């Protein structure tokens, strides 16, 4: 368990060690974990359908983070839509940005292990997950602060871009009230992720 702040180091350099952390976490996971949360996790994975940027593990981590960040009560389909939309965005942004974001997800997924929590983030009950993540947003460890902050910002931008979120915050929507006009890229993503289309990221969830 970490008693002292880790030395400050560059975000990406620290993330480069995520593989080692993941390996250790995987080993530990075999010794623990909750069957209830795992069942929930698998169910969500099936609902994501085809993904172009994220693998299933990253999608699950993102889903878990979104549940933590957004306390506004929303249903599962809205969280799934949020994950899908960020998958779409990450498919079209430059590789550098997409890689950084996915690295942040990988890092946060296994971060609880470094703090003595014998579970991956996505498998923690939501109360425990919230209790773990909230204090980290102002962490003195640069890499932790950046990972949480980066994911937090994109989740909120994505969530509050959705029409379904507007009523709850008193936003009256676009000034013109015109319907959405999907770009060629958005239509392309929809076509590529139709049911039956394979994900381009097929890496298996580590179990």
Partner 1 sequence: MNIETKKERVYEAADYQDGASYDTQVCIIGSGCGGATLAKRLTDFGVNVIVLEQGSYVPASKMDQRELNMMGKLYGERGMGTASDESTQVLHGNNVGGASVHYWADSYRTPQDKLDSWQRDYGLKGHDVSDLNPAFDEIEKSLNIHQAPDHLFNTLNKKVRSASQSLSWHGHRVPQARKHCASSGHCMQGCLYDAKQSQMVTHIPTAIEQGARVFANARAGKLVSQGGTVKQVRVDIMDPVSNRAAGRTMTINAQVVVVAAGGFNSSYYLLQQGMKRQLPALGKYFSMNPSTMVHSMFEEDIIQWRNIPAAWGIDEYRQRRYQQGQYSEGGYLLMPSQLQPALLAGTLPGMGQQHQEWMQDAPKIGGTIAWMDDIEDELGEIRLKSNGAREVYYPYGEKTQKVLKDSVIKQVTLNFEMGAKKVLVAGAQAIELTSINQMKKLDDLQLTSAGLFLAAPHPGGGCRMGSDAKNSVVGFDHRVHGWNNLFVADSSVFPSSSSLDPSLTIMAFSYIAADRIMESLNGVHKKSAGDR
Q: Does 96 bind partner 1 (CB under 8 A)?
A: yes
Taking the least distance from each CB to partner 1, the nearer of 45 and 165 is 165
Instruction: Give pairs for 35-40: CB < 8 Å, separation 24+.
Output: 37/119, 37/122, 37/123, 37/124, 37/125, 38/123
Task: Please provide the DSSP assignment of 137-200 as one string.
Answer: GG-SSHHHHHHHHHHHHHHHHHHTTSGGGTGGGT----TT-PPP---HHHHHHHHHTSTTPPPS
Stretch that binds partner 1, among 41-49, 53-61, 186-194, 199-207 (CB under 8 A): 186-194
Q: Does 165 bind partner 1 (CB under 8 A)?
A: yes
Q: How many residues bind partner 1 (CB under 8 A)?
A: 56
Q: Does 83 bind partner 1 (CB under 8 A)?
A: no
CA distances from 46 to 20, 41, 42, 131, 135 (A): 28, 9, 6, 27, 31
**Interface map 101-140 toward partner 1 (x if CB under 8 A):** -----------------------------x--xx--xxx-
| Contacting residue, 7, 13, 116, 181, with partner 1 by CB under 8 A | 181
Taking the least distance from each CB to partner 1, the nearer of 28 and 93 is 93
Q: Does 51 bind partner 1 (CB under 8 A)?
A: no
């Amino acid at each position: 368990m970490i008693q002292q702040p880790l030395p400050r180091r560059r975000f990406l350099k620290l993330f480069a060690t995520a593989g080692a952390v993941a390996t250790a976490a995987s080993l530990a996971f075999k010794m623990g974990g909750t069957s209830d949360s795992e069942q929930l996790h698998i169910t969500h994975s099936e609902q994501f359908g085809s993904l172009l940027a994220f693998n299933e593990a990253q999608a699950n981590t993102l889903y878990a983070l979104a549940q933590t960040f957004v306390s506004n009560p929303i249903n599962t389909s809205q969280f799934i839509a949020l994950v899908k939309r960020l998958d779409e965005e990450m498919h079209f942004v430059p590789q550098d940005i997409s890689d950084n974001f996915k690295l942040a997800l990988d890092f946060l997924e296994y971060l609880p292990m470094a703090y003595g929590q014998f579970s991956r983030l996505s498998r923690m009950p939501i109360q425990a997950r919230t209790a773990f993540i909230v204090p980290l947003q102002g962490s003195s460890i640069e890499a932790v602060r950046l990972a949480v902050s980066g994911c937090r910002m994109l989740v909120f931008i994505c969530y509050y871009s959705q029409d379904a979120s507007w009523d709850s915050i008193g936003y009256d929507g676009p000034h013109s009230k015109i319907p959405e006009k999907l770009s060629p890229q958005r239509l392309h993503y929809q076509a590529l992720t139709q049911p039956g289309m394979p994900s381009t990221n097929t890496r298996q969830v580590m179990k």
